[in-house]
A and B are shown apart, each in its own frame.
Chain A
C-alpha cells in the first residue's frame, strides 16, 4: 500500500457505492423541504432565510455522510492495515477526507441552483452561496472526521458523535450565513469568506493529526 493506491481505492469504493452519496443528497433535499412546509412557503420568509436553510441542510447531510466514514474500514480490518502500513496516518486521514468531500460536495453543488431557486434565493448571489460552501464545507468534513474517529469503535456512536461535533459546526454556519446575508443586503462579505477559509485551513492542519490520535486510541 502506498499513498497513491490508497487514494485510488478510497475513490473507487465511494464511486462504486453511489447509494451512499445519493442518500446524503436526498437527506439534504428533505431537510430543505421541511422549512417551507413547516414554517412558511411565502417568498417573504424564504428569500431572507434561504442562506440559513441551505447551510443547516448542508451541515446535517455532511454529518450524515461523515458519521460512518471509518465504520466499514473498522469492521473489515482496514484501519489496522493503515496503522501497520508504515505510512503516515494523518496523511491517510487527510486523503480520505478529501475524497469524501469531493464525492459529497460535487453532487450537492450540482443540485444547489435548483434548490436555491425553489427557496427564491436571488440568482445573482448564487456565486456567494457557492463560495461559502466551497470555503466552509472542508472545515465541516475535517471536524467531522475527528468525531467519527473517536466513536468508530462504539456500538452506538452515531448520536454521541452528533452531540460532540454539532457545536463545533456552529461558527462555520454563523460566518457562512453572515456572508450570504451581507451579500443579500448589498454589503461587503469578503471578511466572512476570509474567516471561513481560515477555519477550513486550521481544520485541515489540525484535524488529521487529532483524527489519527483518535483512531490509534480506538484501535486498542
Chain B
C-alpha cells in the first residue's frame, strides 16, 4: 500500500480535484441508498410485534444518531491531526463537518423524542443516553460558536482543534451509557461482533439507510470542504485560474 495519498491530502489543490471527482458519486449513491432504505423500511419491512408501526422511525433515528457520533469522532481525529501534523485540511474538515454533525444530533434527538412519546409515554426523560446526546449537540454548538467568535484564522483553527479533541471524551460515554446505567433506552441496534436481534427484513433496510447517510454526509462534507478550500486559498494561482475559467 502506498502512503502517497496521505501526503497528498496535505495539499488543498490535490484535495479539491479529488473531491471534485468523488463528491457527486458519494452524494448520488448516498441519496439512492437513502431513498431505497427509507421506502423499504417505511413501507415494506414487517411491523414490530410490540410497537407496531411506530418503530419505523428507527430508519431515521438510528442513522442520524450513528452519524452524529461518527462526525464527532472524525472531528476529534482531525483535531488531533491538526495539532500534531498541522495538516492544512484538518481544520477545514472540522469547520465543514461541525454543522452537519450538529444537524444529525438534532435529528436524532427530535426523532427520539417523537418515538419516545408512543413507546415510553413521554417526550423526554433524563436518561443517560438522551442526556449524553444532548451534551454532544451542545459540544457541536460550542465548536461552531468558538469558530465564529475568533477572527484570527490560525488561532481559530487551533482553538477549534483543541475543543474537538476535548469533546471526544463524550463519545465513549454515549456509547456505553446504555450498558453502564440502567436506562429506558434500548441497547445498540448494531454490533460488529453479534448478529442483530431483529429479523433480516428489518435490519437490512436499516443498514442500507445507515450506509446511505454515511455516503450522503461524506458528499456534503466534501462539498463544504471544497468551498472552504476555495475561500482559504483564494490568493493562490490555481484558484484564480479556476475562477477565471468560470468567467467571473
| Chain A residues at the B interface, C-beta cutoff of 8 Å | 19, 22-23, 26, 29-30, 33, 36-37, 41, 46, 117-118
Query: How many angstroms from the CA of A212 to the CA of B204 in the assembled complex?
Result: 67
A174 to chain B, nearest CB (A): 27
Q: A36-B126, A41-B126 are in contact. Are A30 and B138 (CB under 8 A)?
A: yes
Are the CB atoms of A26 and B138 closer together than 8 Å? yes
The one of A22, A26, A29, A37 in contact with B126, judged by C-beta atoms closer than 8 angstroms, is A37
Q: A33-B134, A37-B131 are in contact. Are A19 and B148 (CB under 8 A)?
A: yes
Q: A26-B138, A41-B125, A117-B124 are in contact. Are A33 and B131 (CB under 8 A)?
A: yes
Q: Is B81 an interface residue (CB 8 A)?
A: no
Q: Kindly list chain B residues whose C-beta atoms are within 8 Å of the C-beta of A41.
A: 125-127
B174 to chain A, nearest CB (A): 14
Nearest A residue to B141 via CB reads: A26
Q: Kindly list chain A residues whose C-beta atoms are within 8 Å of the C-beta of B120.
A: none
Other than A22-B145, A41-B125, give 4 A-B pairs with Cβ distance below 8 A: A19-B145, A26-B145, A33-B131, A118-B124
Query: How many angstroms from the CA of A62 to the CA of B163 in the assembled complex?
Result: 25
Number of residues on chain B facing chain A (CB within 8 A): 14
The one of A19, A37, A46, A117 in contact with B123, judged by C-beta atoms closer than 8 angstroms, is A117
Question: Which parts of B136-151 form the interface with A (CB within 8 Å)?
Answer: 138, 141-142, 145, 148-149
| Chain B residues at the A interface, C-beta cutoff of 8 Å | 123-127, 131, 134-135, 138, 141-142, 145, 148-149
A173 to chain B, nearest CB (A): 23
Can you pick out 27 interface pairs between chain A and chain B where the beta carbons lie within 8 Å of each other?
A19-B145, A19-B148, A19-B149, A22-B141, A22-B145, A23-B145, A26-B138, A26-B141, A26-B142, A29-B138, A30-B138, A33-B134, A33-B135, A33-B138, A36-B126, A36-B131, A37-B126, A37-B131, A41-B125, A41-B126, A41-B127, A46-B126, A117-B123, A117-B124, A118-B123, A118-B124, A118-B126
Query: How many angstroms from the CA of A41 to the CA of B148 in the assembled complex?
Result: 33
A53 to chain B, nearest CB (A): 12
Q: Kindly list chain A residues whose C-beta atoms are within 8 Å of the C-beta of B124.
A: 117-118
Query: How many angstroms from the CA of A85 to the CA of B134 in the assembled complex?
Result: 48
Query: How many angstroms from the CA of A29 to the CA of B135 in the assembled complex?
Result: 10
Q: Kindly list chain A residues whose C-beta atoms are within 8 Å of the C-beta of B127.
A: 41
Q: Kindly list chain B residues whose C-beta atoms are within 8 Å of the C-beta of A36.
A: 126, 131
A117 to chain B, nearest CB (A): 6
B134 to chain A, nearest CB (A): 7
